[in-house]
């Protein structure tokens, strides 16, 4: 590999300088993009549309297209180049060179000047290796400084003499100081990541990967890729990205728009199941049972218990005639519907038609001529309606769950053989609640209501769902996500070692079966991009104590001096002062700073930061050049990252959790948020497992 970064004075002087030639290609591509935009802007809709509805639809499409074609000066128009080996059909002048960028740009005659990174011709940019060069002669990566093309790095994949090295541009890109939200990684997606990004839409992929292996980045780029490769289908069916909390969603929300994809919904699991207002919290033991997949069976039985086997006949009067359907025949109809794999609500809608059909058979037997309208009229007959109401009454999902959690007998009737008595007592509310509005619903209750709602009426399924930080979901939450992609596929991302909920999943096989995708492929990412080697090695000391068997992340970056551990004598005030001092030192560097601490330490630290005159942000707020310090409760640190991290007293972080394993996992998350430097400030002993 060879790298070039001539200084700009030299390169400007000569057109034969390769860097200058690349800059010329950049400016002509920009000009071509401008022309493409002007062409769309100049289209006159009056001549092409017959009516105003079409004109509005087309107008909106054009506006979106104009936005798509905007030249974003801060994002490079291309970041790579591929020169394919010449073949008889492919000569150097004729189509063997491709510039890879975020969007397609063509010249006046339609020849590509930049190809979309997602196009098949771009794939070897990410995948070609010395062992498998995929017909690529040269791979060139470009480096930019403030929108200016300032460097390039070449790999001659078929040159036997050239050695493979880690790309310096990759290292520089990772270490580029962070301000603002998460960035895309299109320029530097690695081969094993690309395989996941480009895997087909039909299958579900599950990615296990340690901290900073790029799971979130891969998931988001996969959505962008799928939208490119299957745009029409996904425009119809929809895509959704699910993240653990608002702060996290806020952190990642700009990646897809930066890749030109504006239509992807982002939500938490709580958002998906928000059918009631959540105002309460469950004790851990109750939440674990409520999140257990056995609750699905309890709910299924409870919903179906509303059906009563008819004991009375139905008498339909039409004109001067009366038609009687005896109870035993009604029973047959009801049993047949119960035996089918149908939603409660769909069966309830089918029932009047079935009864009407039975009436019609009798009418036809006695010589009457009937058609569909007669059947519909019979189905709406008051006697039929009354029968349906008593046999198959409507079920309100929230009221049903309210009753299960309030009424010990009702719960016992449906939980028999599923939950033992102690478990039933644990989920019951201490006092019965009268109304849905008065109830202090918890997150787990909302998931139960969602499950009940799905038993009544099928949940709409999307084309593709990305589920990030998946290890923290309960089985019932997996089911809630799974029913949103029953006819589509999913990308499941997570790290078993970072599971910090009492119901965190023990294995991906189990999680995927609750999700309804037992055949999903589980891939593993092992190369770490975020965390420097020294820091990840330190954090990984915890692995055998909290997630034995999981492989340590192999960092692609060596940054000596990136880890510092300071023990502070004295009491809490001295600790706080030392933490503030560490923040002040970190602020001398460029980029973002995260001060991570046990949730209980947040009030004291926020007060101390204010007293020291250091402005700080909440994790949900974007960092800016003026405000770069975020105070992060350990419970919200997951998925986030900062150039420099100051970690307040690890033992307090561990002690803040209900059990030691969860405490160590929380600490592992906190220790793995730093890109360039981690300072651990502690008092007393560090947790022994770090020793
Ligand atoms: N191929 C890559 N090129 C450049 N940067 C990368 C690459 N892959 C990942 N990164 C960077 O590494 C960091 C970590 O990525 P990401 O947040 O996606 O990891 P993660 O596996 O989701 O981590 P966690 O488990 O901690 O949530 C991000 O800054 C991301 O941009």
- Alpha-helical (H) ranges within 366-407 are 372-379, 382-391, 397-406
Given this model, what pLDDT does residue 9 score?
37
Given this model, what pLDDT does residue 158 score?
83
CA 221 – ligand 1 centroid, Å: 11
Close Cβ partners of 609 (under 8 Å, ≥ 6 residues apart): 580, 583, 595, 615, 616, 629, 631
Interface predicted TM-score (ipTM) over 0.85: yes
> 629-633 and 593-597: which strand pairing?
parallel
Q: Which of 117, 529, 670, 678 best tests ligand 1's pocket when mutated (most atoms within 8 Å of CB)? A: 529
Given this model, what pLDDT does residue 225 score?
95
- Which of 391, 424, 458 is the C-terminal boundary of a domain? 391
- Which of 340, 366, 391 is the C-terminal boundary of a domain? 391
- Average pLDDT by consecutive 10-residue portion of the chain (691 residues)? 47 67 92 87 66 70 70 77 82 76 90 94 92 91 85 86 72 77 86 93 95 95 94 92 92 85 91 96 96 98 96 92 95 95 95 95 89 90 95 97 97 97 97 94 98 97 97 98 96 96 94 97 94 95 92 87 93 95 95 96 96 93 87 95 96 94 96 96 94 80
Tell me whether residue 157 is in a domain: yes
Q: Whose CA is nearest to atom 16 of ligand 1?
A: 214
> 78-84 and 136-145: which strand pairing?
antiparallel
Is residue 299 within 8 A of residue 451, CB to CB? The reply is yes
351 three-class SS: helix
Given this model, what pLDDT does residue 75 score?
73
Ligand 1: residues with CB < 6 A are: 170, 173-174, 183, 185, 188-190, 193, 209, 211-217, 495, 498, 529-530, 639, 641, 672
> 136-145 and 148-156: which strand pairing?
antiparallel
Ranges of beta strands (E only) in 442-561 are 464-467, 489-494, 521-525, 527-528, 554-555
Tell me whether residue 458 is in a domain: no
Given this model, what pLDDT does residue 157 score?
85
Residue 514's H or E segment, with its range, is helix 508-515
Distance of CA 263 to the CA centre of its chain: 14
Q: Which residues are annotated as a binding site?
A: 209-216
Is residue 158 within 8 A of residue 621, CB to CB? The reply is no
Task: Sheet containing 489-494: give its strands across.
Answer: 265-267, 239-242, 464-467, 489-494, 205-209, 521-525
Candidates 187, 303, 179, 324; CA nearest to 251 is 179
Tell me whether residue 306 is in a domain: no
Q: Whose CA is nearest to atom 9 of ligand 1?
A: 214
Close Cβ partners of 666 (under 8 Å, ≥ 6 residues apart): 500, 634, 635, 653, 654, 656, 657
- Give the count of beta carbons closer than 10 Å to the beta carbon of residue 15: 9
CA 216 – ligand 1 centroid, Å: 7
Given this model, what pLDDT does residue 74 score?
66
Give the alpha-carbon dihedral of 174, 208, 126, 249, to 10 degrees.
Answer: -60
Tell me whether residue 158 is in a domain: yes
Which CATH number does the domain housing residue 604 bear? Answer: 3.40.50.300
Q: Whose CA is nearest to atom 29 of ligand 1?
A: 530
Q: Whose CA is nearest to atom 25 of ligand 1?
A: 211
Tell me whether residue 342 is in a domain: yes
- Which of 391, 417, 433 is the C-terminal boundary of a domain? 391
CA 143 – ligand 1 centroid, Å: 19
Tell me whether residue 643 is in a domain: yes
Q: Which tokens sit at 177?
A: 């100081």
Residue 265's H or E segment, with its range, is strand 265-267
CA 199 – ligand 1 centroid, Å: 19
Which atom in ligand 1 lies closest to the alpha carbon of residue 219?
Answer: 18
Alpha-carbon distance 64 to 111, whole Å?
Answer: 23
Q: Which residues are annotated as a binding site for ATP?
A: 209-216
Tell me whether residue 680 is in a domain: yes
Candidates 599, 603, 595, 604; CA nearest to 656 is 599
Note down the domain range covering 539.
Answer: 533-690
Given this model, what pLDDT does residue 8 score?
36
Which atom in ligand 1 lies closest to the alpha carbon of residue 173?
Answer: 4
Tell me whether residue 345 is in a domain: yes
The number of distinct structural domains making up the chain is 3
From the CA atom positions of the chain, what is the Rg in Å?
A: 31
- Alpha-helical (H) ranges within 51-206 are 52-68, 123-127, 168-175, 191-197
């Amino acid at each position: 590999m060879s790298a070039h970064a001539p200084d700009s004075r030299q390169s400007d002087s000569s057109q034969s300088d390769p860097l200058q030639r690349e800059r010329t290609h950049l400016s002509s591509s920009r000009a071509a993009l401008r022309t493409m935009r002007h062409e769309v802007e100049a289209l006159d809709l009056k001549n092409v549309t017959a009516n105003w509805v079409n004109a509005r639809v087309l107008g909106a499409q054009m506006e979106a297209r104009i936005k798509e074609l905007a030249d974003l000066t801060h994002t490079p128009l291309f970041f790579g180049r591929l020169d394919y080996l010449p073949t008889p059909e492919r000569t150097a002048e004729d189509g063997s060179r491709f510039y890879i960028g975020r969007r397609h740009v063509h010249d006046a005659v339609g020849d590509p000047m930049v190809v979309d990174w997602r196009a098949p011709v771009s794939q070897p940019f990410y995948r070609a290796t010395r062992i498998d060069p995929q017909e690529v002669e040269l791979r060139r990566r470009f480096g930019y400084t403030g929108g200016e093309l300032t460097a390039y790095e070449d790999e001659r994949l078929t040159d036997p003499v050239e050695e493979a090295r880690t790309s310096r541009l990759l290292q520089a890109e990772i270490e580029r100081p962070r301000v603002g939200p998460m960035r895309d990684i299109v320029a530097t997606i690695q081969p094993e990541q690309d395989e996941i990004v480009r895997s087909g839409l039909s299958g579900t992929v599950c990615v296990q990967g340690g901290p900073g292996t790029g799971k979130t980045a891969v998931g988001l780029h996969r959505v962008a890729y799928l939208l490119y490769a299957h745009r029409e289908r996904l425009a119809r069916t929809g895509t959704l990205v699910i993240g653990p909390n608002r702060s996290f969603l806020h952190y990642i929300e700009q990646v897809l728009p930066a890749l030109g994809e504006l239509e992807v919904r982002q939500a938490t699991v709580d958002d998906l199941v928000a059918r009631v207002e959540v105002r309460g919290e469950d004790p851990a033991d109750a939440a674990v049972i409520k999140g257990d997949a056995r609750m699905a069976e309890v709910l299924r039985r409870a919903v179906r218990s509303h059906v009563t086997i008819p004991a009375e006949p139905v008498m339909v009067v039409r004109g001067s005639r009366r038609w009687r359907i005896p109870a035993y025949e009604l029973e047959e109809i009801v049993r047949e519907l119960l035996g089918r794999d149908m939603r409660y609500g769909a069966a309830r809608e089918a029932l009047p038609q079935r009864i009407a059909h039975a009436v019609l058979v009798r009418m036809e037997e006695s010589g009457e001529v009937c058609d569909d309208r007669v059947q519909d009229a019979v189905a709406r007959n008051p006697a039929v309606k009354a029968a349906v109401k008593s046999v198959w009454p409507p079920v309100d999902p929230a009221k049903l769950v309210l009753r299960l959690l309030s009424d010990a007998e009702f719960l016992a009737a449906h939980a028999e053989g599923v939950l033992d008595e102690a478990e039933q007592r644990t989920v019951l509310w201490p006092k019965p609640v009268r109304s849905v509005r008065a109830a202090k619903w918890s997150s787990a209750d909302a998931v139960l209501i969602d499950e009940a709602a799905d038993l009544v009426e099928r949940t709409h399924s999307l084309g593709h769902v990305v589920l990030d930080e998946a290890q923290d979901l309960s089985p019932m939450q997996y089911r809630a996500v799974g029913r949103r992609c029953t006819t589509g596929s999913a990308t499941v991302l997570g790290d078993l070692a970072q599971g910090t909920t009492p119901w965190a999943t023990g294995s991906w096989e189990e999680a995927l079966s609750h999700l309804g995708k037992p055949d999903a492929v589980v891939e593993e990412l092992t190369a770490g991009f975020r965390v420097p080697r020294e820091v990840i090695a330190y954090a990984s000391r915890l692995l055998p104590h909290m997630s034995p068997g999981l492989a340590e992340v192999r960092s692609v970056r060596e940054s000596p001096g990136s880890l510092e551990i300071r023990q502070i004598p004295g009491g809490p005030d001295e600790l706080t002062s030392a933490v503030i001092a560490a923040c002040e030192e970190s602020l001398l560097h460029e980029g973002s700073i995260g001060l991570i601490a046990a949730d209980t330490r947040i009030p004291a630290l926020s007060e101390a930061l204010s007293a020291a005159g250091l402005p700080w942000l909440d994790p949900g707020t974007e960092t800016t050049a003026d405000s770069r310090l975020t105070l992060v409760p350990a419970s919200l640190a997951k998925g986030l990252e900062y150039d420099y991290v100051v970690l307040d007293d690890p033992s307090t972080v561990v002690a803040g959790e209900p059990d030691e394993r969860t405490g160590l996992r929380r600490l592992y998350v906190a220790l793995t948020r730093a890109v360039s430097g981690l300072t651990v400030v502690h008092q007393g002993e560090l947790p022994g497992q770090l020793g």
